């Protein structure tokens, strides 16, 4: 079985990481890219040495100056069906996704090492446009334990459990434009 075949089966690498290729078809992918491209995306500064990704938040947004969650515009109608599909695949209750974040990476842009804010619980991500190396790392004594997920366009990942709480993730600069739609549930409602 190929690496990709293994990924398609579900868990691989960090506990709590699940992944599926071809979660959507190419026509849906093109429609979603069109929706994201049409958004008033804003530059997101994430550390001095990172390239600038551009984002649009829905449902909730993390306000870095106030260090808390604030309400954002409602999740748009075009994103709701795909959020429901992602919930169903992850075995989550319908409507449990409360935040949708659309992110655009131009060529050469990535995202540095981080864990998502603790206000959020499960994190699902749909990759669009081009593949990326979705890297994971966690400290093991003096060493870093590492894992790389090849996130193909149209694939979906779920970060839960240790993948969410212990491992950091990052994406090195992408070789061609990529966008993602991430879906987050909340710790407490």
Ligand X SMILES: O=C(O)CCC(=O)C(=O)O
Near Fe ion by CB under 5 A: residue from 75, 87, 92, 116: 116
How far apart are alpha carbons 14 and 24 in whole angstroms? 24
* Under 8 Å between Cβ of 176 and 129: yes
Binding residues for ligand X, total number by CB under 6 A: 8
Considering beta carbons, is residue 43 or 142 the nearer one to ligand X?
A: 43
Interacting residue with ligand X among 92, 100, 101, 163 (CB under 6 A):
101
Q: Which residues make Cβ contacts (< 8 Å) with residue 153, sequence separation at least 6?
A: 29, 127, 128, 129, 130, 131, 178
Site map 24..63 versus ligand X, x via CB under 6 A: ----------------------------------------
Which residues share a beta bridge with 147? 136
Assess contact for 173 and 108: CB atoms under 8 A.
yes
| CB 12, CB 6: distance < 8 Å | yes
| Residue 155 interacting with ligand X (CB under 6 A) | no
Q: How far is the CB of 185 from ligand X (least distance, A)?
A: 14
Site string for ligand X, 60-99 (x = CB under 6 A): ----------------------------------------
What letter would DSSP give residue 64?
Answer: T
DSSP 8-state class, residue 159? E
* One residue of 124, 180, 183, 185 binding ligand X per CB under 6 A: 180
Within 10 angstroms of residue 175's Cβ, the number of other Cβ atoms is: 12
Residues 104 to 123: which contact ligand X by CB under 6 A? 111, 116
- Using CB under 6 A, list all residues that contact ligand X: 101, 103, 111, 116, 125, 169, 180, 182
């Amino acid at each position: 079985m190929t690496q990709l075949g293994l990924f398609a089966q579900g868990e691989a690498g960090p506990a709590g990481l699940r992944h599926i290729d071809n979660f959507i078809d190419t026509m849906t992918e093109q429609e979603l890219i069109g929706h994201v491209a049409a958004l008033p995306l804003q530059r997101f500064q994430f550390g001095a040495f990172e390239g600038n990704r551009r984002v649009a938040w829905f449902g909730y947004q993390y306000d870095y100056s106030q260090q808390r969650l604030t309400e954002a515009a409602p999740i748009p109608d075009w994103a709701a069906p795909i959020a429901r599909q992602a919930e169903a695949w992850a075995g989550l209750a319908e409507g449990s996704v409360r935040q949708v974040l659309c992110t655009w990476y131009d060529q050469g842009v990535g995202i540095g090492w981080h864990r998502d804010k603790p206000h959020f619980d499960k994190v699902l991500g749909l990759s669009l446009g081009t593949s990326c190396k979705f890297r994971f790392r966690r400290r093991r004594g003096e060493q870093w334990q590492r894992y790389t997920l090849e996130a193909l366009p149209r694939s979906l990942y779920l970060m839960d459990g240790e993948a969410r709480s212990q491992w950091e993730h990052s994406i090195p600069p992408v070789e061609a434009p990529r966008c993602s739609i991430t879906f987050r549930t909340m710790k407490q409602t």
